[in-house]
Structures are given as C-alpha cells and as structure tokens.
Chains A and B, each alone.
Chain A
Amino acid sequence: MNIFRLAGDIAHLLAVIILLLKIWKSRSCAGISGRSQLLFAIVYTTRYLDLLTNFVSIYNSVMKVVFIAASYATLYLMYMKFKATYDHNHDTFRIEFLLIPVTALALLVNHEFSVLEILWTFSIYLESVAILPQLFMVSKTGEAESITSHYLFALGSYRALYLLNWIYRYYFEGFFDPIAVVAGVVQTVLYCDFFYLYITKVLKGKKLSLPA
C-alpha cells in the first residue's frame, strides 16, 4: 500500500458515499445515469468474486464488500425507492455497445483463460467505459448539479491516482499489470474533458453547464 493507492481508494469511497448521500438527502436521483450505475454494479460483482477464493487483507475485503453493497444500494434507490425521480428520457446510452465489445476483449486479451480471471478482466475493461452513459447524460442535458460534478470528480480522480500508484509500484516493486494500466489510462482520459470543466467552472462556484 502506498500513498497514491490509499488516496485513490479514499477518492473512490468518497465518490460512492457522495452519490448515495445526494440521492438520499434530496430524495431524488435526477441527473444520475441508472445505466452507468447498473454497469458499476456489474463491475464490482464480477471483480470481487475473489472475495470467496482469495484473501488479501481485512482492508481489501472490507472495501470490496462496501463497494458491492453501495452499488446495489444505489440501484435500489434509483430503480425502486426513488424511481419516480429517475430521468429516463435523458438516460439513453445503449449499454450493449459497451458490454459486447468489452466481453469480446476480455475473452481475447486476458492473463489466463479461467472463469474468475476472465470475469476480473471483463470488470477492468467495463469499468474503464462504465461512466460513458453518465457523461452522455450530462452532455445531453448540458448541465449537472454541483453535487453530481463532485461525485464525478471523485470517481475520476480514483483511477488517475491509481495510475500514479502503478508508476510507483513499477519502480519500487517491479509490479506491472498491462491490462489494468491500459484500461486505467483509457478510463482517466475519458474524464479529461470533465476535469477541465470542473476545475474551470465548478471550483469557481459556477454550475457545470456546457456551451450550447
């Protein structure tokens, strides 16, 4: 564990908590893509199956359980409890366009052709693009609430911090996982446009709105 990885995990945890609190406190999931949240639930479920087969540390297991539980809690709030506030009309990204190529890639490019390993690889590839329905929704409506942009910033920072972690681990531990690194770079690049808007607008107290 190094400082970048810890900071990344904290940013990730913060993102998940911000989202749950936003929905719970406002009693509304307006502006949040249910499709992205569904993809994240699939990501955590397929990646953390190793909870049952492989013990790393208490920290690792607790975080995995928290991420799985939080993703299902978010889905419950969006699709059941506050269903009436879910903005279907703007959440139209076709997720099969992500799921099909990601499945194919996981079957072709993996560390080992075994069920758990392919599911892990699938989850890494899917995570890298799972935010697209949310970013698509923001671009479609042309704006996002400040709390939603804080959520997106925390979630995007997490993988960017992991990139620093991987650079650190490469130099100091000789650890290198090309699958995670390439997917992590793709994931971080997808947020770049948002990061720019966040820094130039939201941090200066303005609402995140896109030019028409």
Chain B
Amino acid sequence: KEGNNFHDEL
C-alpha cells in the first residue's frame, strides 16, 4: 500500500 491509488486515510 504505497500511496498509489489506494488512500486509506481521511
């Protein structure tokens, strides 16, 4: 989960 296209934060 290195940034790219997956943002799990608000």
> Which residues of A pack against B, CB within 8 Å?
5, 9, 12, 47, 50, 54, 56, 60, 63-64, 67, 111-112, 114, 116-117, 120, 162, 165, 175-180
**Are the CB atoms of A12 and B7 closer together than 8 Å?**
no
Q: How far is the CB of A122 from chain B (nearest CB, A)?
A: 13
Interface of B is mostly: loop
A–B complex contacts, Cβ < 8 Å, 5 sampled:
A5-B9, A56-B8, A162-B9, A179-B3, A180-B9
Q: Which B residues are closer than 8 A to A by beta carbons?
A: 1-10
Once the chains bind, are A50 and B3 in contact (CB under 8 Å)?
no
Output the least CB separation between B6 and chain A (Å).
Answer: 7
Cβ contacts under 8 Å, B10 to chain A? 9, 12, 60, 63-64, 67
Whole-angstrom distance between the Cβ of A66 and the nearest chain B Cβ? 10
